[in-house]
Structure 1
Amino acid sequence: MKQIIMASTSTIHGSGYLEYLHPELEVFFKNITNILFIPYARPGGISHDAYTEIAQKGFSKIGKNITGIHTYNNPIEAVKNAEAIFTGGGNTFVLVNQLNKNQLIEPIRDALFNGTKYLGTSAGSNICGLTMNTTNDMPIVYPPSFKTLGMVPFNLNPHYLDPIPGDKHMGETRETRIKEFHQFNTQPVVGLREGSWLHIENENITLKGELTARVFECGKTPYEIETGSSLNNLK
């Protein structure tokens, strides 16, 4: 039974690391003491140790212990034995490359299908989709595959941004880039705005947070879904 939270971000404006999610995480991780942290996305290129310290500070406020997967001699066994898993944000290319290098895609997928609780933020949420192809990150490394965990039957675009009326920026909007993606791919894409997350319990997928999400289906006009809405029919 899948038990997953896929959040757009770890931090929203004016709050500390994971602070806006604390009420949700206290319930989600109620019976969990130790969480395995995957720091591979390395935001800003920080070290695995430094990133793990940040995660530990965030989770200490709800009484949870964090251990970085990089401290284990056998990361596959660490995944298999984990009470719960948290994958932080950063660069999705770096994350997926390291997961493949350590042969962790299948073990994580198996663990999640078997009920290990999982939290992802940003890049850590991106990898829950069918592929990582709708990330906003720069391809600074080249993973052997763009396929990811496939915990949901669509792709994600965390940190989704709407066009700003009157803005003089002439580059592509997120909507334009996702439409380009649909010229070559057919799976839906869910644009998660800051402070929003998806809660997956078995096959039930629910949007949470204060904001709507924007859904892109190939060949259809994009549309908004309200918080509390189910995405079970999105395929």
Structure 2
Amino acid sequence: MNLLLLSNSAAPGRGYLEHATEVIADHLAGVDELVFVPYALADHDAYTAKVAAALKPLGVSVRGVHEDGDPARTVAGAQAVFTGGGNSFRLLKALHEHGLIGAVRERAVAGMPYMGSSAGTNMACPTLRTTNDMPIVQPPSFTALGLVPFQINPHYLDPDPSTSHMGETREERLAQFLEENDVPVLGLREGTWLRRTGDALRLGGIAAGARLLRRGAKPREYAPGADLGELLALPAHFDTPAAG
């Protein structure tokens, strides 16, 4: 597989996708047109136009998956797919409704470049269950694309010792997930990304790296450049949906 999974699409002081321009250009080398999946936001046309403007300097044109009325057919003919961020529940609901779980997964497994940011990165996991989002809609299933055999938590935040907030920290919430699910979770901090090429998986980014949480083990820190290929050897947790 050929995956680029960004924690976020914008960094402070930089334009949309600008912090990852170099790795995106490498990921999309040889791609003339990219199919964008805008379903995480309500205004699909405006979101697609935003992505088109960001990728135009790279020589990549952008077509929205929603534009011709047959999203699965559009994905079947795509050179590459980018799934943008927004609300993960709304995005996953749309992927199921439009038959894109199977369509995107089939193309990605066959080697088509897949790129995700935030919610789009959540979609690459076996399930939705480590998203940060509010469930504004109800998907028919939490089953996602299963392009990696572990969970990801984009926008991972470390505890702030100076805050007066009394709710759970991100690590506490993920620890609760691990009480119910024996699947590792990789917390991607802002400005970081994962790059999968075949059986190789490497952490990249401009920031402080990632934190891996496992059931019954102390969290482990990884800096950009770390080899995370061992995570690809985990048993697959993807269950093919009965429909879609």
Length-normalised TM-score, structure 1: 0.96
Deviations 1:1-44 (A, max 9, x none): x10100001101110010111111112212111000000000xx
Shift of 1:103: 1.2
Structure 1: how far apart are the matches of 2:174 and 2:26? 34
Q: Kindly provide the amino acid, as one letter, of the partner of residue 217 in structure 2.
A: K
Paired residue for 1:96? 92
Q: Kindly provide the amino acid, as one letter, of the partner of residue 184 in structure 1.
A: E
Q: Kindly provide the amino acid, as one letter, of the partner of residue 56 in structure 1.
A: A
Instruction: State whether structure 2 residue 56 is matched by structure 1 residue 60.
Output: yes
**Equivalent of 2:72, from 73, 76, 83?**
76
Structure 2: how far apart are the matches of 1:212 and 1:70? 34
Instruction: State whether structure 2 residue 224 is matched by structure 1 residue 227.
Output: yes
Length-normalised TM-score, structure 2: 0.93
Runs of 4+ with deviation above 6 angstroms:
none
Structure 2: how far apart are the matches of 1:157 and 1:164? 18
* Percent identity for Structure 1 against Structure 2: 42
Paired residue for 1:33? 32
In structure 1, runs of 5+ residues without a counterpart are none
Shift of 1:61: 2.1
Q: Kindly provide the amino acid, as one letter, of the partner of residue 174 in structure 1.
A: R
Paired residue for 1:129? 125
**Equivalent of 2:136, from 137, 140, 157?**
140
Q: Kindly provide the amino acid, as one letter, of the partner of residue 216 in structure 1.
A: L
Greater displacement, 23-32 / 96-105? 23-32
In structure 2, runs of 5+ residues without a counterpart are 235-244
Q: Number of residue pairs matched?
A: 231
Structure 1: how far apart are the matches of 2:24 and 2:209? 21
Alignment of 1:1-235 (within 5 A): 2-42=1-41, 46-210=42-206, 211-234=208-231, 235=234
Structure 2 SS opposite 1:23:
helix
Shift of 1:73: 2.1
